Amino acid sequence: MSSISTKVHYPTTMKVCTTTIPFTGMNIEGILPLEALNSRLQGTSGSQEIVFQEPPKAILTLTRTHGGILVKGTVSGSCKQDCASCADPVPHSLTIPIDWILQTSSDRAGPDDELDDPGVIVYEGEHIDLEEHLQEALILGLSPFWHPPRDEQDKCTHCNRDCSVRAWGEKKEAKASPFGALLKGALSGQKPH
């Protein structure tokens, strides 16, 4: 007996015809091309500390409003990123919420509305490609100081290293500076010695 595999194929483009979006809303699901995202993460440095291992998936709801098109949903993916504690590449997943409004320049209220608003995407024409904006949302959602979760003893759950302050050396008490003594005296109303 053979089994039938039903693999879901998501569109590989996030280009939307805005005139076909109803006021009742429209759901779209798609994947972002892996090569384009990893290439953008690499930039011109030639080294890559973060690598997405599978194409990120976007699940969005687009709703036409009188001020533009409301976009809500998530973009999620799995990547390998260097741990901020041990510098080992560690796989992890991230999900970024999307809450945007798409507006044409004619939807904008006036010259004061020309300021960059991170939640507003201005486009021209009847089509908009959301791929670059979704890539940007993922990239901005990454932390350069990311590390795996720590257990109750402050050990890394990935490499089992002790990440507590005592493991890296106790903090030494900072020596008071003469300026600090003057400031402390001024705040307490005392004259410096």
- Over its length of 193 residues, how does the chain's per-residue pLDDT go in tens digits? 444 444 444 455 789 999 899 889 999 999 999 999 999 888 766 667 889 999 999 999 999 988 889 999 999 999 998 887 778 888 989 999 999 999 987 776 555 555 567 788 988 889 999 999 999 999 999 988 888 888 888 888 877 788 776 555 554 444 555 555 655 666 666 555 5
Q: Are strands 120-123 and 89-104 parallel, antiparallel or unpaired?
A: parallel
CB count within 10 Å of CB 137 equals: 20
Predicted TM-score of the model (pTM): 0.73
Give pairs for 152-156: CB < 8 Å, separation 24+. Answer: 156/83, 156/85, 156/86
Residue 47, both tokens: 């080294």
Range of the domain at 33: 15-168
Q: What total number of domains does the chain contain?
A: 1
Residue 75 resides in a domain:
yes
Residue 180 resides in a domain:
no
Residue 183 resides in a domain:
no
